[in-house]
């Protein structure tokens, strides 16, 4: 009697959450939070909807997991860099903001940011979650960075209650612009050129006159 043929491979159980997160990220970016359906996420990930519920209770929890898996690690990397960096604060500022600009300019990261601006008012719980996990944490990191510069005599005295937003707003706005209107420009600005000019301008304003 011939043995029954076995499948050539089986998907590891521990791979499923990552597959679900990848599928959810793509669909959230494509359709927004409200229009994304869990059965569509499961189908794109190649699992049943029942399997999805083994890992995520609902769409809100799935979205939170996507944020924790994609954006929060970037903040953690910058926090680790700040704790070990030995150079000047101006150099650290260029490194931290440069990395953040590279990350936010990817299609998925830009898409999530655009989604939050568009849908935050309709989903206040998710907006609060995003503010706590991403915005507030990022602002606290920037406050520490700026305070380092002030303490070491590199940066002038700053109003740290407003500076994090002054620093982040031009990058976020340009990212949104690139995703919305760049196609309409006859000579669109290159993101890297914008970032270089932004960093130079910002540091000129931050540095203490000597």
| Residues 102, 99: Cα–Cα separation, whole Å | 5
Give the number of C-alpha atoms closer than 13 A to the C-alpha of residue 24, restricted to the C-beta side: 29
Do residue 57 and residue 136 come from a single domain? Answer: no
Strand partners, 201: none
Burial, 195: exposed, middle or buried (Cβ in 10 Å; 0-12, 13-18, 19+)? Answer: buried
**Structural domain count of the chain:** 2
Q: Per-residue confidence at 11, pLDDT binned at 50, 70, 90?
A: very low
| pLDDT at position 210 | 60
What DSSP character marks residue 155? B
Q: Are residues 56 and 78 in the same domain?
A: no
Residue 8 within any structural domain of the chain? no
Contact (Cβ atoms closer than 8 angstroms) between residue 164 and residue 147: no
Residues 46, 75, single domain; the answer is no
pTM metric for this prediction: 0.85
CATH number at residue 180: 1.10.357
Name the phi and psi angles at 207, rounded to 5. -65, 140
> Which of residues 14 and 77 earns the better pLDDT score?
77
199, pLDDT greater than 90: yes
The encoded tokens of residue 179 equal 């995703």
Q: Which of 135, 177, 132, 154 is nearest to 87 (CA)?
A: 154
Cα gap 23→42, rounded to integer Å: 8
Q: What share of the chain is helix, strand, coil (3-state, %, to 5)?
A: 75, 0, 25
Domain that holds residue 42: 13-63
Residue 54: which pLDDT band, with cuts at 50, 70 and 90?
Answer: very high
User: How far apart, in Å, are the Cα atoms of 137 and each of 129, 144, 200?
Assistant: 11, 11, 25
> What does the pLDDT look like over 115-129, one tens digit per residue?
998 999 999 999 999
In a domain, 142, yes or no: yes
Q: Is the pLDDT of residue 167 over 90?
A: yes
**pLDDT score of 12 more than 70:** no
Share of the chain above pLDDT 70, in %: 92
pLDDT bin (cut points 50, 70, 90) of residue 14 is low
> How is residue 23 written in tokens?
């599928």
pLDDT score for 186 = 80
The DSSP letter of residue 46 is T
Q: Rounded mean pLDDT of 146-158?
A: 96
């Amino acid at each position: 009697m011939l043995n029954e043929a076995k499948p050539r491979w089986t998907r590891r159980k521990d791979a499923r959450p990552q597959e679900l997160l990848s599928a959810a990220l793509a669909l959230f970016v494509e359709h927004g939070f409200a229009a994304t359906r869990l059965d569509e996420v499961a189908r794109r990930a190649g699992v049943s909807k029942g399997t999805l519920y083994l890992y995520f209770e609902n769409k809100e929890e799935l979205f939170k997991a996507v944020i924790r898996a994609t954006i929060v690690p970037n903040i953690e990397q910058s926090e680790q860099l700040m704790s070990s960096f030995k150079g000047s604060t101006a150099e650290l500022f260029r490194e931290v903001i440069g990395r953040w600009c590279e990350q936010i300019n990817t299609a998925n990261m830009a898409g999530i940011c655009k989604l939050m601006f568009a849908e935050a008012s309709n989903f206040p719980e998710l907006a609060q979650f995003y503010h706590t996990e991403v915005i507030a944490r990022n602002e606290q990191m920037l406050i520490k960075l700026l305070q380092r510069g002030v303490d070491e005599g590199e940066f002038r005295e700053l109003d740290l209650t407003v500076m994090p937003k002054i620093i982040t707003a031009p990058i976020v706005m340009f990212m949104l612009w690139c995703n919305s209107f760049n196609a309409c420009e006859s000579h669109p600005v290159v993101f890297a050129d914008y970032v270089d000019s932004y960093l130079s301008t910002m540091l000129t304003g931050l540095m203490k006159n000597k």
